Chains A and B, each alone.
Chain A
Amino acid sequence: MKGTHLGEFQEIVLLTILVLDDDAYGVTIKREINQRVKRSISRGALHTALTRLEEKGFITSKQGETNPERGGRPKRYYTVSNRGIEALQEAKELRDQLWSQIPKLKLQQPYTG
């Protein structure tokens, strides 16, 4: 399944891009993940994930406007492609399916013996 597998972090990134809608670029994606998922990720880690997702065709990107707040450098906006949405849905379905097949959910008693 190499090539189309959706990793856990990549899934979070995809969802975050969807949440951010039109305003999804490096800084906002990173901030969003840091706030919502409560984990501190580096720009480098995010870059790797974005590159992989783009390689797999799950997201597309386009160059945006420049901004003095960025030292005059252009932004790159990311949008989730249809394949990306499909992949997200597949992943969700797989989980739902698994959830629905659990016979009876109970929390394990902590082992005391």
Chain B
Amino acid sequence: MPESYPSPPALYARLFRRLCKDELFEEIHGDLLEEFYTNYEEFGRRKARTIYKKEIIRLMRPSVIKRSQKFKNQLNNTYMFRNYTKVAFRSLAKNKLFTFINITGLAIGMSVGLLIVNLVFDALKFDQFHTKKDRIYRVLTTPKRTGFRWDETATAPSLLGTKMREELPAVEEVVRIRRRFSGRIKKDDGSLFTQGIYADANFFNVFSFDLTQGNPAQALSNPFSIVLTETLAETLMPGENMMGRLLTIPERGEFLVTGIVADPPVHSHMKFEAIVSFSTVKPLEQQGSIFNASEDWEDFGTSYVYFLLQDAQSLDRVQAWLDKAGQEIYEPYENLTTTFATQNIAAIVPGKDLNNQIGAELIPLPIIILSAVAMMIVLSACFNYTNLSIARAMRRAKEIGVRKMVGSSKRQIFNQFTVETVVVTVTAVFFSAMLFTVIKPLFITSIPRIDLIMQFETPPVLYIYFLIFAVVIGLMAGLFPALFFSRIKPLAALRSGSSVKLFSRVNVRKALIVVQFSISILFLITMNVVSKQYRYSMAYEMGFDKENVLNISLNGNDATRLRTELEKIPEISKISASSMLLGTGASNRTMLKNPDTNDSLFTNFISATPHFLDLHSLELVAGDIYQSRQPDESLNKMVVNQEFVRFHGYESPQDILGATFYVNTNLVTITGVVKDFNFQYLEEPIHPLMIFESAGNYSFLNLAIQGQDYIATLDKIEQAWEKVDEDAELQARFLDAELEEVNGFLLVFVRVFGFLGFIAASIACLGLLGMAVFNAESRIKEIGVRKAVGASVGHLIYLLSRSFIKLIALSGIFGGLIAYFLLQKVILAQTYYHVNVGILEVLSAAMVLFGLAILAVGSQTWKAARANPVDSLRYE
């Protein structure tokens, strides 16, 4: 009974029906079915089905599978491809100049592309080494205080971590991390300054840092346990095992080494030299050696809360809990609400711009800009190829006409030109790989400190990507010409004299040239404007004296002791201690409360000894400077700036003298008003500022140096430093040098864009050169006739270069406009004190490019215009 026969696997049967040649299907499938039924009876359903499936798969061979209609027309594919390659090489060899221009342009463009691909590849590697990276998140906090700018911070109150651990089952582990562990570890000969983090005991369970010695579960559980990195252990005691040793850190205590961890990888957003157990925080806070923060819901700046999700889906539940917790916890606080968010560990770098980052920071914007720029340059090189190929159309039209007459299809012509392009790009990629090895080190050295966040490894797999990249580029560049050529009508191409028709695409070519030159001019203008901003920033009158002021980093040493030593040096005229350096972008803020209105808001402050003002030549407009405080006296006097006076609604500086404000809990009287100066970096406008004395808050000593012999003075300072701190190196820098470094990133910008501009311009000019050569050659007879009839050389040059000059002028206008809007509205707008895009920067960039273009076009035009008409007309 045929009905009762079992059915074979339907999917496979259908697949086979679809793929098998019709004339074979009946026979083979009959055999298969017969066998299937036999097997069914012999071995049962499962085995029979398995055998059937295997048979079908093994039948997938060329002699059985149907050929599609498309394939039937190209039976001799491989031969044709061999032929295409041969023709490609011949035609490339015949047009050496075009080939040279194309390969050079593409190689230069692609080497920049490779560099950026490498860069992006590197940036995406951050924190990929954590095996649980899909489930590791951290809590971000946005404290919103009335009258204060809200910034999202990477830190969160450590109490939140504790609460989370107790109340939230969706979270498997919570790791609280506190930043800024620091201290000097005593060793046999002196001591060693070290920095690290405090972390909970489950740190090694969540993060995949490699603990080479010690028990990962136990290493950070007891108070006063410390885990050292291999480098730190090696520096402390070369060649010795540090495990189980007691380390003495003055003002902190005795620490037991419970583990050795491999140095954190370059691609870790978290960097440390040592990890101390989080349980150490409490005792340290109690003994007063670190800031008391762990019990404070208002502490938004010292700790991080990382957590490990049970499973990746439960994130919604965590967020809901955080929303609720944020509302409940901050309910009792006046003027303060807080929201929490989460961030996956892989999204930290590159990621959002947050305050209080634990380590490496990399916002995606520069990467996006660089990628876009690289894309533009690569595209520009592609345009050259496209342009020159189309320009050659006239010469090759006949070849294509003949091919078509003989019977080649559109597709075959398309293939032929695609193969030609791929040959060019693959050759170019080899040259670009060579160029890449040259520009990579140049690029790395031109950006200071990039090695801290970038490894710039080029793993072999990247070369495979490069090759794919090249082929894709090749297809992109070749697509348009290939389509164009394959559409040529054989009759039109073969009829003599009608090839002019082919130039209907001339507008596309012009547009491409305009785009290329606009890009080049954009880069050059950017370079000009940014270097103008650099000069402006350096010369900007900040309102304080930056000459001859030497700053010394205290590095935890006692300010008073060092000061008494330094006072003995006659070349030092004034000394002050301060919490920050002026104009470097650093800022300290604290709570200020108006006793009348009870309004409180965060305000910038500098804590400094009285001499700080006259040392920096800060001018007082009213009142007087506060006097040095007695040890038993609490903070009660301060000086404010004019902006502070305006902000708090006083008419004149005189009026505010004697007014009182609460700074934290101290009632402080204003004794003087200082003239406004840029205490922050030029990005920020001048904000209200308070200057007061608060001992123990000083990080720097500021020295005014007299006389010219800096080297001798520095020697003396160094001797004085050694009396106070025999281990650490003296860190002293002049304020103007410090400011120069702060502005250094602009120089990097100038260098990078100068380099890119140079590359874009040279690619564009190469293309232009090719077009000029082509133009002169194709009009050679016209020139001959004109010359024979009496045209002058000058007239001919004008005639030949007129269209190019127009195009470049047009790109000047386009590029200039784009640059203006991009720079003025986007880039420069980030800085409060900025220059404007001036006509000079635009013109000078345009002139440079114009000069280069004239050189490229002129050389060819000159040659063509001077040629003897007899040579070109001889054969007519």
Contacts and interface: CB of A to CB of B under 8 A. Distances in A.
A43 B30 contact: no
B26 A43 contact: no
Interface residues of B, number: 23
Question: Which of B27, B28, B59 gathers most chain A CB within 10 Å?
Answer: B27
B34 A27 contact: yes
A44 B64 contact: yes
If over half of A's interface residues share one DSSP class (helix, strand or loop), that class is named, otherwise mixed; here it is: helix
A69 interface: yes
A71 B58 contact: no
Contacts of B336: none
A26 B58 contact: no
Interface string B23-37: 010111111111101
Nearest to A75: B30
B26 A47 contact: no
Nearest to B26: A73
A43 B28 CA distance: 8
Given A68-B2, A70-B33, A44 B55 contact: yes
B63 interface: yes
B31 A71 contact: no
A47 B30 contact: no
Contact of B54 (A42, A63, A71): A42
Nearest to B36: A71
A7 to B, nearest CB: 15
B58 A70 contact: no
A73 B54 contact: no
A47 B34 contact: no
A70 B28 CA distance: 10
Contacts, number: 69
Contact of A73 (B33, B55, B64): B33
Nearest to B29: A73
B79 interface: no
A45 B30 CA distance: 16
A73 B27 contact: yes
Given A27-B35, A42-B55, A44-B61, A73 B30 contact: yes
Q: Main secondary structure on chain B at its contact with chain A?
A: helix
Contact of A45 (B5, B26, B27, B58): B58
A44 B59 contact: yes
Contacts of A74: 26-27, 30
Contacts of B5: 68-69, 71
B439 interface: no
Given A27-B35, A42-B54, A47-B64, A70 B30 contact: yes
Contact of A25 (B31, B32, B55, B59): B31
B60 interface: yes
Interface string B219-253: 00000000000000000000000000000000000
**B24, B30, B35, B63: residue with the most chain A Cβ atoms closer than 10 Å:** B30
B34 A69 contact: yes
A72 B2 contact: yes
Contacts of B24: 47
Contact of B32 (A43, A48, A63): A43
Nearest to B59: A44
Interface in A32-90: 42-45, 47-48, 51, 63, 67-76
A66 to B, nearest CB: 8
Given A42-B54, A42-B58, A73-B27, A47 B35 contact: no
A106 to B, nearest CB: 41
A45 B61 CA distance: 9
A51 to B, nearest CB: 5
A68 B358 CA distance: 76
A71 B61 contact: no
Contacts of A72: 2
Given A69-B34, A72-B2, A73-B33, A48 B63 contact: yes
A93 B60 CA distance: 36
Nearest to A73: B30
B55 A70 contact: no
Nearest to B54: A42
Contact of A43 (B2, B37, B59, B63): B59
Contacts of B26: 73-74
Given A42-B59, A44-B61, A71 B28 contact: no
A70 B34 contact: yes
Contacts of B55: 42-44
Interface in B57-76: 58-61, 63-64
Contacts of B37: 69
Contact of A44 (B30, B33, B38, B60): B60
Contacts of B38: 27
Contacts of A47: 24, 28, 59, 61, 63-64
Nearest to B25: A73
A69 B31 CA distance: 10
A98 B24 CA distance: 40
Contacts of A67: 30, 34
A71 B37 CA distance: 10
Contact of A26 (B27, B54, B64): B27
10 A-B pairs closest in CB distance: A73-B30, A26-B31, A42-B58, A44-B58, A44-B59, A70-B30, A71-B33, A76-B27, A68-B2, A70-B34
Given A26-B31, A43-B58, A74-B30, 10 more contacts: A25-B31, A26-B28, A43-B31, A43-B32, A44-B55, A44-B58, A70-B31, A73-B29, A75-B27, A75-B31
Interface of A: 25-27, 30, 42-45, 47-48, 51, 63, 67-76
Interface of B: 2, 5, 24, 26-35, 37-38, 54-55, 58-61, 63-64
9 contacts: A27-B34, A42-B59, A44-B58, A44-B59, A44-B64, A47-B28, A47-B64, A69-B33, A73-B33
